[in-house]
Structure 1
């Protein structure tokens, strides 16, 4: 029996744990550095068809319909004149057993966690050392405990300390010169939009997204604001919890977003956006990176959670087939999604009136062009 240690109890770590439990040849344990899995309520995620198909392999379709939503379109609006630019039909990629889904993140985390025995997740386990000198991989923790395993799966997020340990050098993500403001808002406080769709409002160096997270009246709201910070500022994470800083971000956003929306936001939090600079491949053939530890994208294609699920599923298949490395196609796909996410970011944040006018005309044409939609979205959603 192969022993597998999974470092990190996020979406990717819990999902691959669910997959591996289906094979009695694996003995798996999840090691989480915190004292619990993060199931904070309130904030939403989007899951495109490519990830819903994979989640359905472990029963995701049985989640209560009240706890998820299936938007059919993405509506684009101009923040400057408050008018709709165009809409994109994302339902064309839906199939009977898998539809584009929005929901609260904690619903997905709870689903993944509740399918696992409580004894399978060990909390308060901070990795301090990885030793490859023995026959098996030895993982040492902060409390002087250690375990040995045949396979090590690292899924401890974009700030993965374990990735730096195996690389024997510090690997830091890059600050994306942007701050995300996340919040929740009641449907009745969102005026002038179709509440059954995802709404993306484009401004100057800023865009906002709102969408329902279930079949009640609660919506997720996020604004991405271009903002340069000094290395001292973005390394001081307490800054983003400071009321003064949050107030200043709200003030900047309210210059373009309807002040009536701003005043009705709840559960407001700010986050600096960090992204990966390249794909790191562990030199040890039995060590793997998944989730944001593998690669973290800009949030402008809403593929963060979906790609965490995809990569975890691919690793599971590789282990089943005794193929211990991600292939070239996975890395190529990662780079493609990263490029498209960055292109979306560029297009969403235009500030010059002429380029905005050209963009809006192109968008109206492209969202109705089947070849473009299949090439731009289908290459991601259909995989």
Structure 2
């Protein structure tokens, strides 16, 4: 029996644990540095068809329908004049069982966690050292305990400490020169939009997104604002919890976003956006990196959670086929999604009025072009 240690109890770690449990030849344990899995309610995620297909392999289709939403379109609006630019029909990539889905992050985490035995997750386990002896991996924790395993799967997020341990150097993501404001808003406070769609508002150095996270009246709001921060500001993470910083950011956003939305936001949080600059591949054939520890994308294609699920599924499939390495297609796919995410960011934040006019005109045509949709979106969603 192969012993597998999974570091990190996020989406990718919990998902691959569910897959590995299907094979009785694996003995798996998740080691989580915190005293619990983060089940904070409120904030939303988007899951495109590519990840819903994989989640349905472990019964995701059976969760309470009221806890998720399946939008058919993305509606694009101009923040400058509040006019609708166009509608993008994302339902064309759906099939009968697998549909683009929005929901609370809590709902997905809770689903993945509840499918695992309680004793499969070991809490308060912070990794401080990793040793490789022959084909065995030894992991030493801060509490002076240690374990040995045949395979190590690292899934402890974008700021992964475990990933740095196996390279003897600190691997840092890069600040994406943007900050995000997240909050929740009641459906009744959203005017002049279709509540059955994802609404995406394009502005000058700013874009915002509003979408339902269940069948009730709860919507998630996200605004991404270009903003330069120096190293001292980035190092002081308490800055993003301060009322002064949040208030000043909301004031800046309110210059373009509907004031009715800003005034009715609840559970507001603000934080900087970081993304990966390279795809990391461990030298040890028995060590793997998945989720944001593998690669963290800019959020402008809403593929963060979906790619965490995809990469975890691909690793599981490779282990089942006794293939010790991710294939070249995974690396190329990651680069492709990263390029498109950065291109979306550029297009969403245009400021020049003439270029913006041309963009809007092109968007109206492209959302109706089947070839473009297949190449630009289908290459990711399918």
TM class by shorter-chain length?
A: over 0.9
| Match runs of 1:138-177 below 5 Å | 138-177=138-177
1:237 CA displacement: 1.1
Q: 2:279 aligns to what?
A: 279
Gaps in structure 1 of 5+ consecutive residues: none
TM-score (norm 2): 0.99
Partner SS, residue 132 of structure 1: strand
2-side partners of 1:218 and 1:134: how far apart? 53
Partner SS, residue 368 of structure 2: coil
1:135 CA displacement: 4.1
Partner SS, residue 166 of structure 2: helix
2-side partners of 1:229 and 1:114: how far apart? 40
C-alpha RMSD of the superposition:
0.6
2-side partners of 1:180 and 1:266: how far apart? 15
Q: 1:252 aligns to what?
A: 252
1-side partners of 2:260 and 2:379: how far apart? 38
| Match runs of 1:1-383 below 5 Å | 1-382=1-382
1-side partners of 2:261 and 2:170: how far apart? 41
2-side partners of 1:180 and 1:140: how far apart? 36
1:260 CA displacement: 1.1
1:232 CA displacement: 1.1
1:97 CA displacement: 1.0
1:133 CA displacement: 3.0
Partner SS, residue 167 of structure 1: coil
C-alpha offsets along residues 196-241 of structure 1, whole Å, 9 cap, x if unaligned? 0000000000000000000000000000000000011112111111
What count of residue pairs does the alignment treat as equivalent? Answer: 382
1:14 CA displacement: 0.0
C-alpha offsets along residues 271-327 of structure 1, whole Å, 9 cap, x if unaligned? 100000010100000000000000000000000000000000000000000001001
C-alpha offsets along residues 145-195 of structure 1, whole Å, 9 cap, x if unaligned? 111000000000000000100111010000000000000000111111001
2-side partners of 1:135 and 1:47: how far apart? 37
2-side partners of 1:18 and 1:117: how far apart? 10
Partner SS, residue 185 of structure 2: strand
Partner SS, residue 293 of structure 2: helix
Partner SS, residue 133 of structure 2: coil
TM-score (norm 1): 0.99
2-side partners of 1:151 and 1:249: how far apart? 44
Runs (4+) of structure 1 exceeding 2 A deviation are: none
